[in-house]
Amino acid sequence: MTHAPGSPRAARRGAPEAPPLYDLYNPYESATPYGAYAPYVPYDVPDDDRYGIYEPPVTGPYDPFLPEPREAGPYEPQDLHDVQDLPHLPRQPLAPQAPDEPAADAQDAPEAPVASGPSRGASRRAAGRRKRAGERPDALRKLLPQALVVAFLAGGTSSFIAADKTVRLDVEGKTRTLHTFADNVDELLADQHVPLGEHDAVTPGHHHGLTGGDEISVRYGRPVALTLDGQHHQVWTHARTVDGALRELGVRAEGAYLSTPRTAPISRHGLDLDVRTERTVTFMADGRERTIRTNAATVHEALEAAGITLHGQDTTSVDPDSFPREGQTISVMRITGTEEVRETPIDFDTERHDDATLYKGTEVVSQRGEKGVERTTYALRIVNGVKQKPTKLSSETVREPRTEIIRVGTKPRPTSVQGAEGLNWSGLAQCEAGGRPDAVDPSGTYGGLYQFDVRTWQSLGGNGRPQDAPASEQTLRAKKLYVSRGATPWPVCGRKLHG
């Protein structure tokens, strides 16, 4: 490599030195060469050297922002000609070097003794210039890293400025203009300590990227227990007033009844709101049709709004306390009538109990049954002039029925009666009743095979009527009667017993 004339490396190789540059550090000696950005050379300054350049020694703590000396790279100046090519330095013509300056490197040359007298200052300044001229490459090597650091810091500052964004944040109508480095909406809200719940809304979305001039809106959710036309709903709204909530929920509020004024605020804790919209209801009453617009809570209230009055038993086709629906047609029923009380019998129960003291086939009623009585009240109504089917209003038991108890014989019946055997009992029965056990005379007094009257029959141990008893029992009772009275009870047919 060929070095520029006047450089330290060229001086060490015996090349002719170029004229030194003008000394910019000393305004009083403009023609004196200088070292570009060279550090001061430390040496003792005599008291009488008022115009010399004092260069203090490099001391103190290590500064990390000062670059370390290093070998010249491809982009570092190698000599004074390279210094001339730097864009921030004015290009100066090279002045011819004084013949008495040493050609060797200033760092290797010994320092000349300082002469006394008026020339001591000039000699010292010349020695300092020669020392600075030898240190110019080291100063240039320090210059470029510092410039790179400055450029890096300048670029970082530009990035820093570019990352700063100005946005507008609107939280529940309170707007602020902010400077932020957040990348998206979530980061901004976290930086501003704006918590969001499940039902809160943010515009634009949570992860929307931020750019300068963006507007972010936050609206908190508020619970509303809404009763709309009798139907209960639990809803959430971002509106801050009742009127805003109705618009947000799409509720038609014109002519509606509101339990809370429209201008009332809705707190974060919410509120209970009852809304009854205006509806069209038609009434059919007294042969006329009446259609009204109402926000009444019950059919009865709507009737009053329509100017219809109910009297006595009058009612409507639907429950008067029910909620009137949109487009509903309701009939008014004018009712007149009376009440009627009717008594009906209640049948009694029968209980049968075995009795070993009675012969088989014998039944004795020990307790007669009695029917009870039930009293029922009916309403006889005429609705709009038409008689209706009686309606049961109430019922009560006036008298309880009494159970009938019958004793049933289980004792074996005897087959013979001493003193009455061997007689023609079948002939007697044929003569008295034609051999029919259920025969009854025309007067109804006598019955059975042997034509007993009830009194005689029961005195012989029979129950009920003789014609209802089996034929064998009738014959047995007849034999007993014969033993006690003979054939006298049968004055006409008694002769058949022996014939």
CATH number at residue 248: 3.10.20.30
Residue 47 and residue 109 share a domain = yes
Regarding whether 156 and 57 lie in a shared domain, the answer is yes
Please report which confidence band the pLDDT of residue 293 belongs to, taking 50, 70 and 90 as the band edges.
very high
**Phi, psi values for residue 483, rounded to 5°:** -60, -35
Residue range of the domain that includes 171: 165-219
Check whether residue 213 and residue 237 sit in a common domain: no
Task: Return phi, psi of residue 146, to 5°.
Answer: -65, -40
Q: Which of 232, 247, 276 is the last residue of a domain?
A: 276
Identify the domain boundary among 407, 426, 455: 407
Let me know whether 66 and 127 are in one domain: yes
What's the CATH code of the domain at 421? 1.10.530.10
pLDDT, residue 38, reads: 47
Asked whether residue 158 falls in the same domain as residue 211, the answer is no
The pLDDT value given to residue 145 = 56
**The pTM is what?**
0.38
- Are residue 422 and residue 450 in the same domain, yes or no? yes
- Same domain? For 153 and 82 the reply is yes
Is there a single domain that holds both residue 202 and residue 348? Answer: no
pLDDT at 268: 86
Residue 125 is predicted with a pLDDT of: 56
Q: With 80 as the cut, is the pLDDT of residue 138 above it?
A: no
- The secondary structure of 146-163 as a DSSP string is HHHHHHHHHHHHHHHHHH
Total tally of structural domains belonging to the chain:
6
Q: Which residues pair with 336 in a beta bridge?
A: 382
Two structure tokens written together for 78: 């190698």
Q: Are residues 159 and 169 in the same domain?
A: no
DSSP string spanning 269-282? T-EEEEEE--EEEE
| Apex 351 CA angle, 349 and 356, nearest 5 | 165
- Which residue, 331, 336, 312, is CA-closest to 320? 331
CATH number at residue 402: 2.20.230.10
Burial class, 301, CB count within 10 angstroms (exposed 0-12 / middle 13-18 / buried 19+) = middle
Residues 227 and 262 in one domain: yes
- Find out whether 176 and 169 touch, Cβ atoms under 8 Å: yes
**Both 481 and 360 in a single domain?**
no
Q: Please tell me whether residue 175 adopts helix, strand or coil conformation.
A: strand
pLDDT tens across 174-217, in order? Answer: 898 988 988 888 888 888 888 888 888 898 887 888 888 889 88
Is residue 416 exposed (0-12), middle (13-18) or buried (19+ Cβ within 10 Å)? exposed
The full DSSP string for 225-246 is EEEETTEEEEEEE--SBHHHHH
Q: Domain end: 179, 199, 219, which one?
A: 219
Nearest to 392 by CA among 381, 409, 376, 407: 376
Closest CA to 284 of 384, 388, 389: 384
